[in-house]
Every structure is written in C-alpha cells, then in structure tokens.
Amino acid sequence: MERIESSYSPEEAALLMRLKVFVTMRWIAIFGMVVGTLVASEVLHIGFPTLPVYIICAVIAMYNVVFYFQLRAIGREKPGTIIHKARTYGNAHILLDLLALSVLLHYTGGIENPLIFFYVLHIILASIALHFRVVYVVATVALVMVGLLVGLEYAEVVPHVNLAGFADPTLYQSAPYILAVLLALAVILYGTTYMASAISGELRKRQRQVVQLGEQLLEEKEEELEQTSREMARLAEEKERFLQFLNIAAHDLKAPLTAIQGFLWVMIGGYSGDLNDKQRHMLERSSKRIAELLNLISDLLDIPRIESGQIIPEMKEVSLKQAVRNCLPEQRRVAREKGLRLSVELPEETLSWIRGSSPRIQQVITNLVGNALHYTEEGTINVRVIELDNDIQVEIEDTGIGIPAEDMPHVFEDFFRASNVEAKGTGLGLAIVKRIVEAHNGRIWCESPCPDSNQGSRFTFTLPKASKEARRQE
Amino acid sequence: MPKKILVVDDDPDILDALTMILESQDYIVVTAQNGVEGLANLKAEMPDLMILDLLMPKMDGFRVLKELQDPRWSKYKSIPILVLTSVREEASRRRYELETGLELGVDDYIEKPMPPELLLERVRKLIKN
C-alpha cells in the first residue's frame, strides 16, 4: 500500500485508509470463499456446484484490482477534492459486492446458507466509509436483494440450489422459516447500520472538530503575531519620533545659550572694548554658569540617545590604543597645569579591535581620566590598557581623595555626587559613562581605595573584542 | 592683504559675535543667514574660508556641502570649509553619509560653543594652508 500524503485533511486521509482496508478485506473474503468452498465440498462433502462460486470469486477479484488502481489514482490527486470521488467509488463497489454476494448466495443454497448473514460485514464496512444515509440505502438494497432471491426461489421462478447433505432440500419452501430468517437479517442489518454509522459518524465529527480547532488556534496565533509586529512597528516609529524630538529640543535649548556664551566670550576676550576687573569677573562667572547649563542639557539629552540605541549605528572597528592616544594631549595639559604625573601603559603589541563608537569611547576615557585629575591633588594618574581573552580592559587609577565606602554603591547613579567633594559637574558623567560602556556590551566598576596602593580609586571597564565574523562584515 | 571669511549661520547673534571676534584679527567678514545666501556670497566674494553652520532654514549646511560636490562648483573647491555647529560631529557624519552616500569632506569641524581663542587658532591654521 502506498503512503497517504500528509497534506490530506484528517478526514480525507481516514477515508482513503478505510477504502484501502476495503480492498484488503475483499482479498481476504475471496480467499475465505475459495477455502470455504473447498472445505464444504471436499471435506464436508456438501453437494453444490463449485464452479459458479469460483467464477464469482474471479469476478470479485477483477473489480477489486480495478478498485485498487482507482484508489492509487485518487491518492495522487490534489488534497481537498477527493472525498466525493472516493465515496462514489466506494458506493459502486459495495453495490457490486452486494450483487456478487447475492449471486453467490443463489449458488450456495439461498436461504439454507447460514452465511446469509455475511451481508452484515458489508454494512459495517459501508458505515465506516460512507455517509450514514447511504448506509441505510445499502442495507435496504441488501435486504431487497436477499428477499428477491429467496422470493423468486420460493416461487420457483429461479431454480433453487440445495446444499446437499447440509440442509433439508425443502427448507426453501418453508414460508415461516424464510420470513424468520429475513426478519432476523433485517433486524441485524438495520441494527448494525445504526450502531456502526453512529460510531463512525461521531468519529468523523470529532475529526472535523480537531481540524477546526487546529485552524482556529492557527488563526489566533497568526492574529497575535500580526498584532505583535504591528505593535513593534508602532514602537519603532515612536522611538524614531522621540529621537527626532530630542534632536530638535537639544538644538533649540542650546541655540540661545550658545549665542549668549558667544557674546560673553566676546566681552571677556576684550573684542568689544575694555572691561574693568569686576565686570570681567562677573562675565566669567556668567559664562561658567552657561557652560554648566549647556553641559547639563547635553548630558540630559545624551541619556535617552544612548538608551534608545542611537550609538549602535555609529559603531565601527575601533582601536582602544588609538582612542586612549586621542584623549591624551588635552589630559596631559591638565595634568601639567596641576603638577600631576599622567602615566599611560599601552601594550607593545597591536591590540585586538573592538566594535564601538570611537567618540563615545573617547568620551568614557576623557571622563574617567578627567575625574581622576580633578579629584587628585598630588601623585600619579595611571592609565593601563590590557588585552584579556575576550575583552580589552582599561584601568584608570589615581592617588586622589578616593570614594567614601557608603558612596560606593551609588557612584554610577544619575545626579549622584560623592559626599566628600564639592559639586562639580552635572552628576551625570559616570551615569552616562556606564550607559555607554553597557551599550557596547562592556562592564564597568570601581574600587576605592585601590587594592594595590591602598589609596585613591580605580575605575576599570572592559569592552568585548570584535568577533572574527563581525570583522569580516566590515 | 587681509583675508576674507564667509560666515553662514541662521542665528544673527552668533553672526555678530563671530564677526566681532574675526574682525578683531583684521579678517574681512561676510555673512549669510542660510545656505542659499551662503552659496551666492561664496560666488560673489570668493572668500579664503567659509565657516558653515549645519542646521539652518531654507537650505541647510548638509545641502550646501552636497551642492559643492557638483562640478559646477569646482572653481570653489579649494576654499577651506570649517563646520561650526551644535550638532555632534559623529551624528553629522552619519547623517551626511546616509543622505548622500558620501563622506563628510570638510576641513575642520567645531562643536559650538567654542572659546574665541581656540576658534581663532583653528581659523588661522586653515587660512595658512
């Protein structure tokens, strides 16, 4: 038997499978009839013409072969279209079966043959495969055929064949016996029809429900998926709008301050005439406040930019060594002014690349070194770059005032200022640094006092190396 | 001979401040408040340096830079350009690349505000070249 294609609906697949069972059953029936006939005639010595039986068996075998090929042909057709065709074939073959069975019955004693109840088998098969109304028709047809046969034999229109040695040769003329057998047959046929078609009908209904349930679930899932993707698109759009808004807000907030700062610098620089010391001092203080405000605006608007992933499109292959070098000149100048030593330890060999936003990484280094310079009165600021297995690690160590133990858990929090220093910047510097490092999938932490020197503080951050795959994409 | 500088910025206060700073060093300053005006003055005045803001109405700095890529402007290609804007350099570079597919080819990029001394230093460097 061929495999039934999986794309058929469960109902179609079941119908095809059942019709295939029909074919198999028919082969078994033919085999049984031949064996039964042989046993009856040769072993039990019941006298009846065997040739017609064999001929009928041959006929059944022939149309069974036809049915077998019909089913194979159906099995190759498109799913969803085969139910009607398969049922028609099934009906035709069951009618043929009934006809063959009736002819067979005629040659094997008619009403005398207890195998008259074989019709029941067909009814069961039919009710498994066919629509329940059709099964009642089949049962009726079977009954009519048997009735017709025994009636015609009773009326001597058709010659009666006696199973010699098995049944009384006058039995076919016994009206009460005939009626009793027919009644029993009718009861069994209709009873079986009812039972079998109820069971298989229920089975089919369940099959359809399963299919429906599956489809319904699929539909629900699809709808959910669609809704989720709509939601995601909406969120992306909203994020885009928000970033747009931030960019405009940043520009519009800074524009007037920038203009004011410009004028202040013009005056402080003496480009608009001389100032007395008092005026210069006040203008310098104003300028400093404006600078603070500009920094605060930049920092505040930076946070959502980093958090919404705006850094990611800026990421390229970056050399951390180069990033550190780029930051140095300005930091060295500050260190010199303050009389501090700024020592930088870069490894001799070339470092692995990392994937990142170069200006943002420089912002991190500048901020950390800037803090170290700011909070150290004398001694050394040490910047060290180390290559680890999967990361590049940067350490910035100072000999400064350090961080009080109770402040340690808070140093990376927004607007946090350590309790042992006067307010300097916006209180957002380290919070932004942490966000930048984390946006690069890196880690940052601080220790105070430094474990080696037992003074100052040490900030360490790691950035993961660019994978080989990422490098190829470049 | 005094050098001539074209300053393009939509903020008149910035223009005034920059003019005062630059004129103190004996530069001749020509101003424009948007890209269209800026390009017209570039043609008319043949300055030695253009200081260009990026975010402006009518025609912004990005479009000015794009326009200057056109062969029609090849005569002015040698004029150095200093971008002076409040937009972060990296963000500008990315935007220009996205919009034009070209690299932002400017001679210097300064984020506003910039102290006058540093600004003058950068200007001097560009004009000397």
Q: How far apart are CA A308 and CA B20, in angstroms?
A: 41
* Average confidence (pLDDT) over A356-365: 89
A99 burial (CB, 10 Å; 0-12 / 13-18 / 19+) is: middle
Q: Which residues contact A426 (CB under 8 A, 6 or more apart)?
A: A292, A295, A296, A299, A300, A415
Contact B21 A266 (CB under 8 A): yes
Candidates B101, B40, B51; CA nearest to B73 is: B40
Lowest mean pLDDT among A172-186, A259-273, A451-465, B89-103: B89-103
Q: Which residue among A265, A271, A314 places its CB closest to the CB of B90?
A: A314
Give me the residues of chain B with pLDDT under 70, please: 129
Q: Which residues contact A471 (CB under 8 A, 6 or more apart)?
A: A317, A353
- Residue A3 confidence (pLDDT) above 60: no
Specify the pLDDT at position A285: 92
Residue A272 — pLDDT band, cuts 50, 70, 90?
confident
Contact residues, chain B, for A271 at CB < 8 Å: 20-21, 24, 116
Specify the pLDDT at position A300: 86
Instruction: Produce one character per residue of A185-201: b if its CB has 16 or more CB atoms within 10 Å, e if not.
Output: bbeebbebbbebbeebe
- Residue A232 confidence (pLDDT) above 90: yes
Structure tokens at A432: 């932004």
Sorted by where each starts, the structural domains of chain B and their CATH numbers stand as: 4-128 (3.40.50.2300)
- Residue A91 confidence (pLDDT) above 70: yes
Q: How far apart are CA A332 and CA A140, in angstroms?
A: 109
Q: How far apart are CA A54 and CA A79, in angstroms?
A: 39
Lowest mean pLDDT among A283-297, A312-326, A380-394: A312-326
Spell out the alpha helix ranges (H) of A269-388: 277-307, 320-338, 358-374
Contact A114, A177 (CB under 8 A): no
Q: How far apart are CA A124 and CA A22, in angstroms?
A: 11
Q: What percent of chain A stands above pLDDT 90?
A: 21
Contact A294 B55 (CB under 8 A): no
Candidates A43, A287, A78; CA nearest to A166 is: A43
Tens digits of residue pLDDT in A327-345: 888 888 888 988 999 888 8
Residue B89 forms contact with A (CB below 8 Å): yes
- What ipTM did this prediction achieve? 0.87
A427 burial (CB, 10 Å; 0-12 / 13-18 / 19+) is: middle
Specify the pLDDT at position B84: 93
* Average confidence (pLDDT) over A295-299: 86
Average pLDDT, chain A: 85
Structure tokens at B92: 């500008």
How close is the nearest chain B Cα to the Cα of A241, in Å? 16
φ and ψ at B56, to 5 degrees?
Answer: -145, 155
Candidates A32, A50, A54; CA nearest to A42 is: A50
Please tell me whether residue A474 adopts helix, strand or coil conformation.
coil
Candidates A352, A339, A376; CA nearest to A459 is: A376
Specify the pLDDT at position A469: 54
Of A168-177, A205-214, A344-353, B11-20, the range with the highest mean pLDDT is B11-20
Candidates A446, A434, A436; CA nearest to A407 is: A446
Q: Looking at chain A, which residue has its C-alpha nearest residue B10? A: A255
How close is the nearest chain A Cα to the Cα of B21, in Å? 6
Q: How far apart are CA A179 and CA A185, in angstroms?
A: 10
Specify the pLDDT at position A6: 53
Q: Which residue among B13, B91, B115 places its CB closest to the CB of A263?
A: B13
Please tell me whether residue B29 adopts helix, strand or coil conformation.
strand
Contact B86 A250 (CB under 8 A): yes
The DSSP bridge pattern shows strands A443-447 and A458-464 to be antiparallel
Specify the pLDDT at position A53: 85
* Average confidence (pLDDT) over A382-393: 89
Contact B14 A259 (CB under 8 A): yes
- Residue A125 confidence (pLDDT) above 80: no
Contact A314 B18 (CB under 8 A): no
Q: How far apart are CA A442 and CA B47, in angstroms?
A: 48
CB pairs A-B closer than 8 Å: 57
Residue B112 forms contact with A (CB below 8 Å): yes
Top-confidence residue, A330 or A4: A330
Lowest mean pLDDT among A194-208, A224-238, A414-428, B76-90: A414-428
Residues in chain B: 129
First-to-last CA distance in chain A? Answer: 57
φ and ψ at A407, to 5 degrees?
Answer: -90, -15
Contact B55 A359 (CB under 8 A): no
